[in-house]
Amino acid sequence: MMPVLADIIANPLASANDLAALAKYDTLAALQHPNCPPALWWEIAKVYPPEAEASVLFAMMTLEAPERWLEIEDDRLGTRIKEVCNLLPVLQQHLFAFDCAERVLPLFVKAQAPHLESLTNALQSRQLFGQGKISVAEWRLAQELAETTAWSTKGAVPRCVAWAVAHENVGEVARRAVGAMVFDFNANQPRPNREASLQCRYAERNWQWQRLQAYLRGEVP
């Protein structure tokens, strides 16, 4: 290690400029430094969440800005969900997609959006296909009708719901379902609340994550 970098690490009062220089050569050392500037700490924390959680500044940083850490955790969970979805057998992917979309379909009903029948049929067809009870052609036909509804649907909440039902990609289904929950939550708040909105998004993603784990453990019939 270069002596100048060792001196910065050993100095608990190292300046912001010194720590910025350190971060270019040893990013995690800068993250762990007790005098790491907040802007630099958060920048590194986005890339290295587990290391940030173990750093000496974690408690202070997250106490001052809990919503920023929640956003990092939410992004990390979203990435995990996308990755783990692909580990499921194809038919189970469809069943998980059904689970996600079924949770938000009531929001489409609540919005009194038109063409509910095509979404309901597609959702039922997806479940039946995942259970091996109908052919891929039957599922595709129902999906195409649902896609037509999704393209024509107006309004953030019902549009997200429609795509959660109609989208082929299971990761995209999960993302749209989360979006529907968040849009609906925000629409019912008296004033914008970023932290509460993030908590809503994280809660839905956490449900999805727990459901995925149940599939991986073989706990879903």
Q: What is the pLDDT tens value at each position of the chain, 221 positions in all?
A: 445 899 999 999 999 999 999 999 999 999 999 999 999 999 999 999 999 999 999 999 999 999 999 999 999 999 999 999 989 999 999 999 999 999 999 999 999 999 999 999 999 999 999 999 999 999 999 999 999 999 999 999 999 999 999 999 999 999 999 999 999 999 999 998 988 999 999 999 999 999 999 999 999 87
| Of the candidates 101, 67, 65, the residue with the CA atom closest to the CA atom of residue 175 | 101
Contact in structure between 34 and 55 (CB atoms under 8 Å) = no
Asked whether 142 and 125 are in contact (CB, 8 A), the reply is yes
Strand, coil or helix: what is 135? coil
The pLDDT value given to residue 1: 46
How many residues belong to the chain? 221
Residues whose CB falls within 8 Å of the CB of residue 36, separated by 6 or more in sequence, listed in order: 19, 30, 44, 55, 57
Each domain of the chain, given as residue ranges in start order, spans 3-64, 73-216
> Per-residue DSSP letters for 10-63?
H-TT--HHHHHHHHHH-HHHHHH-TT--HHHHHHHHHH-HHHHHTSTTHHHHHH
Distances (CA, A) of 21 to 3, 18, 31, 55, 201: 13, 5, 12, 19, 36
Give the predicted TM-score (pTM) of the model: 0.84
Residue 54: C-alpha distances to residues 6, 48, 138 (Å): 21, 10, 51
Distance CA 129, CA 92 (A): 10
**Among 152, 189, 185, 181, which Cα is nearest to 164's?**
181
Contact partners, residue 199, CB within 8 Å, separation at least 6? 70
Pick from 188, 212, 190: nearest CA to 200: 188
C-alpha–C-alpha distance, residues 182 and 198, integer Å: 8
